[in-house]
Structure 1
Amino acid sequence: MYEPEKVRRAGYAPMNVEVGRRGLHTRQSIVRSAARLFLERGFHGTSIDAIARAAGSSRATVYQYFEDKEGIYRELAAQCVPAVLDHANRLGPLGPDADGMHNLFDWLEQWAALYEDHAVVLLGFPGLGPSAGIETTDYIADQYVSRVLDRISTAPVGAVSPEDVAAAVVRIAHMVNLYRYRGMWDLPSADAVTASLTVALQLLLFPDTPHAVLETVGPPGGSTPTTSAAPAGPTAAAPSTPVSPVRSDIVAAASALFAERGYYAVAMDDIASAAKVSRATLYRHFRTKVAILSELTEWAVVEGAGLAADLQGLADSGFTRDSLHAWLGRYVRFHRAYGSVIQTWYDGGLNRQLADAVGTGIGPFQEAATALLARSGLPRGIDIRVGAAIFLSVLGRLTELTMTKRNVDTDYDSADLMLEVLRRALRMSFDDENGTHGGRPRLDQ
């Protein structure tokens, strides 16, 4: 593990005082305690006082070693840099053959192990929660994707640009491992998740990979996973608070600010200014920023339930390429409005009531995605639970990618990339293709 060569006290202690063995132990205890709390409560849900208590120290002692909470996180990120970048370099030559696929499998297997060792930093990589505004983690993410791109650029990935493929590979692998790490969606073991991810990402990279090559990596025991849909979750309730025009304007202004800057970087005064209301008016409607987030969450749950129901309708009655593309475009608009709510939840800093509300809102998407894939059929070797997790990863992370990294004219342009990734990675078939995918028989037929 990375350790600074010289550890100096900052804050209350003179800047030229070097810390001895006891001081180094104290510093390491603070960092370890912070890492544990960041995982349990989220970066923004952890206070300096909580870190001090967990480390058996005082607030003053923590400030002797670190200027602020971000400084502790930067040190955790610095400890992660060598392992993360080494992992990016371990991606071997790729190709539509057994050697290429096994290189991909080995790399994804190491991804899962890397998550176990460095989850506190990887939870913020790329573009999630704790890393917002912390340059060290942004640097890791950029360098990591760049190194993966170097490897993918040597592979003939077809119509999709190498930049988009690299971004999709990293984001999908990251998010599915995040879901697994947090015990979401009843995902199988790490080995089974890795096997399914390998098949999906191999197809994303090389859609023409022969059937025999794909079967060289599969779920433990070679069993074909069930394709039954998940049980229905709780029904979203309508917002309990009557919505006045002023209140609606406040929530809409807050939503735009949260999306632009992140929830934790926005102050109540910022919201009042953006909504063009006085502080008195703002506080008459909402006493705290959490209250605004709570109402925004209710909006997201209700609108998301309708969108998920429409996806379920496509699964029940059949879907064409155009109908799924149209739905994806609508999802992009939804994510623009409410992505900050979901992102804040993933950071782990929300109270339990809000976290449960957002979880209730996300659940129907997972159920609908499972039903959609059950209708379409999946390549052998992809567990349907992992397939649904990949679908959700594409919805969130590729929407974020197209909104921030690519120049797109409309939400439906963003949907173009999402549909192509889903089509390739999951070999989705559409009703207007007569049960075939791109002229090739599906692997489950």
Structure 2
Amino acid sequence: MSLQLFAENGFFNTSVDAIAKGADVSRATLYQYFPGKDEIFVELLNECGGALIRVARRIGELGPTERGLDNLNWWLGEWSWVFEKYRTMFVQWAVVASVDAEVRPEVMAFITEYNKRLAARLEQSEVDGLDPVTTATVISAVVHRLNLFHHTGRTYDANLEVLVSNLSIFLQLLAFPETSDEILASLASRTVGSARIADPVAPRMTGLSVEERGAGLSKRAAATIRSLVDAGAAQFATKGYYRTSVDDIVAEAGFARGTFYKYFSEKQDLLLAVSSEACARSVELSDRLQDLDLTSEDDTDLRAWLHDFLAFMDTYIGSIDVWAEQNTESALVADVGIYAQTRLDRAAEAALTTVTRPYPFDPTAAALILRAVLTRLPEALRELSPEATDEQIVELLVVCLRRGFFAHNI
């Protein structure tokens, strides 16, 4: 019953009362077994995490050989099967792990242990030119995030086998860039077939932006709106949208509660303003991405873009997480998120298809893998090494993009 309620309402919107009612027991009876919903979540987490550990134990020999690629492809397929079986938990796992929740340490402990197991296998396989622990972090982050995209309907109906096969090639080149074209082409029959990403239809966002909300008002009023939106974005990023209250926002901005309601009807109205701003910034980044030459020896523009993308994610991650969870009551917030995401994916598709590869690589799958790298890997690296600088993160992102997508073209 808890799993069903987490699927329908999300972790943060599910109460202990709702769980007890759904299970047809009293609160007192529930508390005999679990101190609260956090402990129920951890119990479910241990169940699905255990399934992943069992799959990891069966990973065969990896390396720049056909057998190594087959073993990697098998493992990724098994991971996807586990994700499908426990998809509600994995979706909520991503949401809970991104904010300061009580269960976050449990999630982080499992991720750390899983990456250690994977790193040990990579070390045995003599991964080429990358630290095994870092490589394991990259692999688990990207695989988890791409599965999350697929099981929340954000892959443009791409065939799962096509996604897994392309991800296999990307990760094979990341870990073993000397893998031959002939070996990479062994997955050819399962590597292409997705429809190209269609141009998105822009949602109606008239009146949502900070500038439009402040139009015709005094400079002081317009500045107040600006401060509230900035405070909302900051609180959503720190605590998550659902755990942030109006009181948190006004405290951050330094205003009284009444000031908030003078300019915004409710917290969701502020989310619309933040989402509008995040969308505009995402479109700007998308336009720049599609013009990048990702194979150029001069990677100055690429590094500048990656730094700007990191800043974008740091600022707007709270609203982006709402887009990803797809649990918002506002259809407009969801539409804004879909539009921003699709614009970025279209740009990625364009940037990643500028070269002819000697092995098949599906353009839509490539764009989705890039989205997984960009949206999850920086966070995963900070979890691995809290003191990691943006420059170090950008350096690894460049390595991932160059090796995973263009190892045989640079």
**TM-score, normalised on structure 2?**
0.85
* Residues 124-166 of structure 1: per-residue CA shift (max 9 Å, x gap): 4467568843143332222112211221233333443322211
Paired with 1:268 and 1:52, the residues of 2 have a C-alpha distance of 28
CA–CA separation in structure 2 for the residues paired with 1:299 and 1:72: 37
Q: 1:39 to 1:377 in 2, by over 3 A?
A: farther
Select the residue among 261, 278, 286 that pairs with 1:308.
286
Letter in 2 for 1:211: D
Cα gap change, 1:325 to 1:124, in 2 (>3 Å): same
The superposition leaves residues 181-203 of structure 1 with CA deviations (integer Å, 9 ceiling, x where unpaired) of: 12223243332222221111101
Distance 1:379 1:118 in 2: 37
**What residue number does 2:237 align with?**
259
Per the TM alignment, residue 285 of structure 1 is displaced from its structure 2 partner at its CA by 2.9
Letter in 1 for 2:59: L
State how far apart, in whole Å, the 1-side matches of 2:358 and 2:7 are.
35
Describe how 1:317-396 pairs up with structure 2 within 5 A. 321-353=299-331, 354-378=333-357, 380-396=359-375
Range with bigger deviation, 359-368 or 190-199: 190-199
CA distance in 2, matches of 1:188, 1:289: 35
- Report whether the alignment pairs 1:194 with 2:164: yes
Partner residue, 1:101:
69
In the alignment, the residues of structure 2 paired with residue 425 and residue 40 of structure 1 have an alpha-carbon distance, to the nearest angstrom, of 36
Alignment partner, residue 41 of structure 2? 73
1:205 offset after TM fit, Å? Answer: 0.5
Conservation of the 8 A alpha-carbon contact between 1:95 and 1:101: yes
Equivalent residues of 1:101, 1:198 under 8 A apart: yes
**Deviation of the 1:342 alpha carbon:** 1.4
What secondary structure sits across from 2:124 in the alignment? coil
What is aligned with 1:291?
269
**Contact 1:176 1:389 (C-alpha < 8 Å) held by counterparts:** yes
Q: Output the CA distance in 2 between the equivalents of 1:36 and 1:379.
A: 46
Whether 1:242 aligns to 2:213 is yes
**Quick check: 362-371 or 236-245, which moved more?**
236-245
Q: Do structure 1's residue 113 and structure 2's residue 92 form an aligned pair?
A: no
Counterpart Cα distance in 2 of 1:397 and 1:79: 23
CA distance in 1, matches of 2:47, 2:178: 40
Contact 2:174 2:404 in 1 (8 A): yes
User: Which protein has the larger Cα radius of gyration, Structure 1 or Structure 2?
Assistant: 1
> What residue in structure 2 maps to residue 133 of structure 1?
102
1:208 alignment partner, SS class: coil
C-alpha separation in 1, matches of 2:315 and 2:56: 33
Q: Distance in 2 between matches of 1:218 and 1:133?
A: 45
Q: Match of 1:369, as an amino acid?
A: A
The equivalent residue for 2:117 is 147
Is 1:175–2:145 an aligned residue pair?
yes
Matched, 1:422 2:401: yes
* Code of the aligned partner of 1:75: E
Q: Map 1:4-15 onto structure 2 (within 5 A).
A: none
Percentage of matched positions with identical amino acids: 28
Matched, 1:231 2:198: yes
Q: What one-letter code is carried by the residue in structure 2 that aligns with 1:323? A: D
Q: 1:83 to 1:181 in 2, by over 3 A?
A: same
Tell me the equivalent position of 1:35. 3
Cα deviation for residue 114 of structure 1 reads 0.6
Q: Distance in 2 between matches of 1:154 and 1:224?
A: 31
Counterparts of 1:177 and 1:139, CA distance in 2: 20
Amino acid at match of 2:201: P
Q: CA deviation at 1:364?
A: 0.4
Residue segments in structure 2 that go unaligned for 5+ positions in a row: 215-221
Mapped to 1, the partners of 2:119 and 2:392 lie a distance apart of 23
Distance of 1:327 and 1:268 partners within structure 2: 34
Cα displacement (A) at 1:104: 0.8
- The one-letter amino acid of 1:133's match is E
Please say if residues 199 and 381 of structure 1, whose CA atoms lie closer than 8 Å, have aligned partners that are also in contact: no
Question: Which of the numbers 240, 251, 270 marks the counterpart of 1:273?
Answer: 251
Distance 1:214 1:125, change over 3 A: farther
> Could you say if the C-alpha distance between residues 183 and 127 of structure 1 is closer, same or farther in structure 2, counting changes exceeding 3 Å?
closer
d(CA) in 2 for partners of 1:204, 1:273: 45
Amino acid at match of 2:395: D
> Residue in 2 aligned with 1:7?
none
**Partner amino acid, structure 2, of 1:292:** L
1:404–1:83: structure 2 CA closer, same or farther, 3 Å change rule? closer
2:176 counterpart of 1:206: yes
- CA distance in 2: counterparts of 1:128 and 1:319, whole angstroms: 40
Give the Cα separation in 1 of the matches to 2:241 and 2:94: 17
Deviations 1:389-424 (A, max 9, x none): 101011101232344444344x45432211211111
Cα contact 1:37–1:51 (8 A) shared by 2: yes
Q: Describe the superposition over 1:336-356 as per-residue Cα deviations: whole angstroms up to 9, x where unpaired.
A: 111121123333432242222
Which of 155, 158, 166 aligns to 2:136? It is 166
